[in-house]
Structure 1
Amino acid sequence: MKKWSDEVDNKKRFSNRVENYVKYRPSYPKKAIDFLYDELSFAPNSMIADVGSGTGIFTKLLLDRESQVYSVEPNQEMREAAESSLENYKNFTSISGSAENTTLPEKSVDFIVSAQAFHWFDLQITKQEFKRILKANGKVVLIWNNRLTEESEFSVAYENLLKQYANDYNEVNHQNIGHREFNSFFSKEGYKTFTCPNYQLFNFEQLKGRLLSSSYSPTSGDQNYEMIMEKLQEIFNLYNENGKVTFQYNTEIYYGDV
């Protein structure tokens, strides 16, 4: 699989974006979490590893269902943000680890989840690590909020903006991961999917923060920063309705054995 940058760089890509990530990244709809607990047998007593857990957005949803969660994150700044916001949960354990080396004991978890992170992993090494830490019959669940790019004139314009001015958007876009990668990662029994809608509403400052939360967005001082902000304002001015624009998503879940 093509590597977009070296491993250390990938693990530090969000270090200067934590505040915007916490404020402006979407959570996940109740329907998606209900699916995990109603259909995939997640339970309050489940031991779950949330791998690539970032600032704890998905971890919190599992903690709220009283599951025991190991929140595994290699980026110190993101991990500390999760620890700060989730420290009062008794069922929360923060782990300095990665998908390739979770540091968890063998056969220790019932489920592994990865929300918005799987495309950063070394898939071959990760598969062996996931097999090592899963209990018998344990499942891997991969989740993305997949931003829809052709649902409106705004979404088309925003996508074109990223393609033109974002640093390495085309290379690191999670949609570069697809059936071929899933098919090789999951066991020979294959994988199943579940999809439901999600959305966010933004004023301009929120839209700006959402853009800056992305690893591919130029930051202040970068070559394209002033231009992308100017174009973002133009797009917002053109397409906002009553001072808001909408990000529409499909929340996509891929699950199976490894």
Structure 2
Amino acid sequence: MKIVLANSVTTTVGAKKPMERVSKFDGLAEDYERHRPRYPQQLLESISRTLVSNHPVVVDIGAGTGIVLDGLLPVLPAPRLVIGVDPSQDMVALGAYKHPGATWIVGTAEDVLEDSSDVDLIVAGQSLQWMDRPRVLRAANRALSADGILAVLQNNRNHESSGFLSAYEDLLEDLSPGYRRDYRSFDFSAEIRAAFHAQPSYETWIWSQNLGSEDFIGMSRSSTQAQRAIAANGSEFLKRLNALVTEHSEGDILRIEYLSELYMIRKDS
């Protein structure tokens, strides 16, 4: 396997950062790690079952703090080589602390994949929307091994099923500049098909978790959309967010329903 770290930095726990990158997620890593939902384990097991290699090379693009790897690593065959790539120094530092057996790179998926080959699994969890998708998908197709797999995962709040979540989306649309609740409504199937010349498989899971009021507020504050609302309308946004959570919580608990999606495809042969 070849990975050339063009315009990127390999980071290990305790290492000094030889160059600085500025990311929209810098400064949010601890809240992101504490409050972001994990993925259904069935979804991650579905990815593992599809792998052909018994000693896989795995690249997690837009890896953040390693939330996908939290559930994926226990179901991957060993030995394996796992690489986490993210543009945020803060996210990579926390990911490397959690999963020191992986190699962590501060860099972009575009740069790393374009200089990589013989990768058995490329996984993108809640990250593809932030990337140059046509470029990343073309690079992923080239970087995969003969039986390699691309897996794209999404966790979205199921606001259509919840008055509270719908009201929360109303709040973001009102106070977060440029935000629309459908901002992640991309046709990933069509985009993957265009790059791989085949139709990806598609699976969904609907699930829910109970969150304490403070946990939901923390999750909100870890998002870039809420950060924009705070920057533009700080006191008003936080006042209305707290009022909304108080109105809808039962015994200080909120039920949050999610729709998780998994797109998978093998290398275009």
Q: Please give the TM-score of this superposition, normalised by the length of structure 1.
A: 0.85
Q: Gaps spanning 5+ residues in structure 1: where?
A: 1-9
CA distance in 1, matches of 2:224, 2:202: 26
5 Å-filtered alignment, 1:49-198, equals 49-66=59-76, 67-87=80-100, 90=101, 92-102=102-112, 106-170=116-180, 173-185=183-195, 187-198=196-207
Report sequence identity in percent.
25
- The 8 Å contact of residues 59 and 69 in structure 1, kept in 2 or not, is answered as no
Tell me which amino acid in the other structure corresponds to 1:173: Y
> What are the Cα deviations for residues 152-207 of structure 1, in whole angstroms up to 9, with x where unaligned?
2112111111111123322993224544434323x222111011123332222111
Shift of 1:14: 0.7
CA distance in 2, matches of 1:171, 1:234: 20
Secondary structure of 2:250 counterpart: coil
CA distance in 2, matches of 1:189, 1:223: 43
Tell me which amino acid in the other structure corresponds to 1:109: V
- The 8 Å contact of residues 107 and 136 in structure 1, kept in 2 or not, is answered as no
**Cα RMSD (Å) of the superposition?**
2.4
2:17 matched residue in structure 1: none
Tell me which amino acid in the other structure corresponds to 1:19: E
5 Å-filtered alignment, 1:205-216, equals 205-216=214-225
More divergent stretch after superposition (74-83 vs 171-180): 171-180
Distance 1:166 1:219, change over 3 A: closer
Secondary structure of 1:200 counterpart: strand
> What are the Cα deviations for residues 103-144 of structure 1, in whole angstroms up to 9, with x where unaligned?
686423111100000011112321232133211121111001
1:4 matched residue in structure 2: none
- The 8 Å contact of residues 176 and 232 in structure 2, kept in 1 or not, is answered as no
CA distance in 1, matches of 2:227, 2:264: 33
Shift of 1:62: 2.3
2:237 matched residue in structure 1: 228
Shift of 1:35: 1.3
**What count of residue pairs does the alignment treat as equivalent?**
244
CA distance in 2, matches of 1:171, 1:180: 21
Distance 1:244 1:171, change over 3 A: closer
- The 8 Å contact of residues 57 and 81 in structure 2, kept in 1 or not, is answered as yes
CA distance in 2, matches of 1:236, 1:21: 19
1:17 matched residue in structure 2: 28
- The 8 Å contact of residues 44 and 68 in structure 1, kept in 2 or not, is answered as no
Distance 1:204 1:44, change over 3 A: farther
Distance 1:151 1:60, change over 3 A: same
CA distance in 1, matches of 2:53, 2:168: 39
Tell me which amino acid in the other structure corresponds to 1:79: V
Tell me which amino acid in the other structure corresponds to 1:75: S
Q: 2:58 aligns with which of 39, 48, 61?
A: 48
Q: Gaps spanning 5+ residues in structure 2: where?
A: 1-20
Shift of 1:71: 0.7
Tell me which amino acid in the other structure corresponds to 1:230: K
Q: Please give the TM-score of this superposition, normalised by the length of structure 2.
A: 0.82
Tell me which amino acid in the other structure corresponds to 2:31: N
